[in-house]
């Protein structure tokens, strides 16, 4: 009897290292070793502890019986955390599965029906080529997408696997960006109302709808107010501000005419921190960006009927060329200790366009490394 008990004790004393083949109660889920102990194992270990206590303590049977129950409680407490961990992990996996399933069903409510042969777009993520199904692709239109911030936005959405078209007045840069990214380029002067509307209408006809409009196009011209003509002022507004209204209005007209409502829509307007701070000679630019700031929250209310959220992004100093030539003091003056890059703005655009971020609406998001929060006085 003693030899048999010793044999059982030696075979079970290191229970945490038991393998799945040796003990069927051991379960491994996604690399996480979660121990689900069979009740027979508890009986074996309790018996072993019973034997050890009886052997070394030589306690009367009635006391041993009490210790037997204490041992059971000890084992239950010991393995309670692991059992709960297993239960919680399985519950989390089930919740995540149900969430993905619900999101997939919602995506199938609009657009092309899912088929086993649906085309897929390849996208580069972290150096790997992955596929995004048609149901998850968004149709994106960017104004002023040939250079600078606009190009970074086009690149970001193309890499994320979306269908992208953009317009720009610079035909050479536009064609180069199209070749580099795979996006569709339309040469357009956005100050020409008919040209911009024709471009967007063509995209709507080809794609049946547009999910995301990013109004990025903008020009700046700084000159003394005594040397700035009314025509100069109007030109800046016709490029920076008026296209925001034109594209938003045309998308609303299109959505209103559709019998099948698209449950998703985003408009992002590229504003500037100059909507709230200025320097001499910036009247036209400041006015255009201030107009975008106000137009954004007005559009957010007007377009909610068609499930379109409208937000603006106010960049600070974004260096679009020769970043490596900046001086140390250019970077150090920012609380973030660096000057901004076009990719900083593109990442925020992607964030705002995620399906789950539809509760962000009518907002202006400043991305300037903290400069507008910095109090500056001459010492």
Question: Could you list the active site residues?
Answer: 285
Report residue 130 as tokens: 């992955």
Question: Angle, nearest 10°, between helix axes 2-12 and 39-57?
Answer: 130
Other residues' Cβ atoms within 10 Å of the Cβ of residue 158: 22
User: Using an 8 Å Cβ cutoff, are 120 and 194 in contact?
Assistant: no
Q: Each residue of 297-336: b (16+ CB within 10 Å) or e?
A: bebbeebeebebbbbbbbbbbbbeeeeeeeeeeeeeebee
How far apart, in Å, are the Cα atoms of 254 and each of 201, 205, 259, 299?
9, 10, 10, 15
**DSSP letters spanning 302-334:** HSGGGT-EEEEEEE-SB--S-GGG--HHHHHTS
Q: Are strands 212-215 and 139-143 parallel, antiparallel or unpaired?
A: parallel
Neighbours of 339 (CB within 10 A): 21
E strands along 156-283, which residues?
Answer: 163-168, 184-187, 212-215, 266-270
Q: 356 — phi, psi (to 5°)?
A: -75, -5
Helix (H, G, I), strand (E, B) or coil at 267: strand
- Assigned token pair, 200: 């967007």
């Amino acid at each position: 009897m003693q030899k048999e008990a010793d044999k059982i004790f030696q075979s079970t004393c290191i229970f945490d290292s038991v393998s799945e083949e040796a003990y069927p109660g051991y379960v491994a889920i996604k690399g996480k070793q979660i121990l689900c102990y069979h009740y027979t194992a508890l009986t074996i270990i309790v018996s072993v502890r019973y034997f050890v206590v009886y052997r070394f303590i030589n306690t009367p049977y009635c006391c041993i019986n009490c210790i037997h129950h204490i041992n059971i409680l000890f084992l239950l407490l010991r393995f309670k955390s692991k059992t709960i961990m297993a239960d919680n992990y399985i519950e989390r996996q089930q919740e995540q599965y149900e969430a993905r399933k619900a999101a997939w069903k919602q995506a199938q409510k609009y657009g092309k029906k899912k088929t086993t042969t649906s085309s897929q777009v390849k996208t580069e993520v972290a150096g790997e080529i992955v596929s995004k199904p048609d149901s998850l692709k968004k149709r994106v239109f960017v104004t002023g997408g040939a250079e600078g911030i606009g190009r970074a936005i086009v690149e970001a959405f193309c890499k994320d696997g979306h269908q992208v078209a953009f317009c720009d007045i610079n035909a050479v840069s536009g064609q180069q960006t199209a070749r580099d990214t795979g996006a569709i380029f339309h040469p357009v002067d956005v100050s020409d109302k008919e040209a911009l509307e024709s471009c967007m209408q063509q995209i709507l006809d080809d794609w049946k709808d547009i999910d995301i409009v990013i109004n990025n196009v903008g020009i700046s011209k700084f000159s003394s107010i005594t040397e700035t003509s009314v025509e100069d002022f109007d030109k800046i507004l016709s490029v920076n501000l008026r296209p925001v209204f034109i594209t938003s209005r045309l998308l609303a007209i299109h959505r209103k005419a559709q019998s099948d409502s698209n449950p998703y829509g985003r408009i992002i307007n590229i504003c500037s921190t100059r909507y709230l701070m200025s320097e001499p000679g910036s009247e036209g630019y400041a006015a255009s960006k201030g107009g975008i700031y106000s137009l954004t929250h007005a559009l957010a209310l007007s377009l909610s009927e068609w499930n379109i959220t409208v937000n603006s992004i106010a960049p600070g100093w974004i260096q679009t060329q020769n970043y490596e030539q900046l001086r140390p003091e250019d970077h150090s003056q920012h609380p973030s200790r660096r000057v901004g890059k076009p990719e900083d703005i593109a990442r925020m655009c992607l964030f705002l366009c995620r399906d789950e971020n539809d509760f962000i609406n009518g907002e202006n998001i400043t991305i300037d490394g903290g400069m507008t929060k910095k109090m500056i006085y001459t010492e």
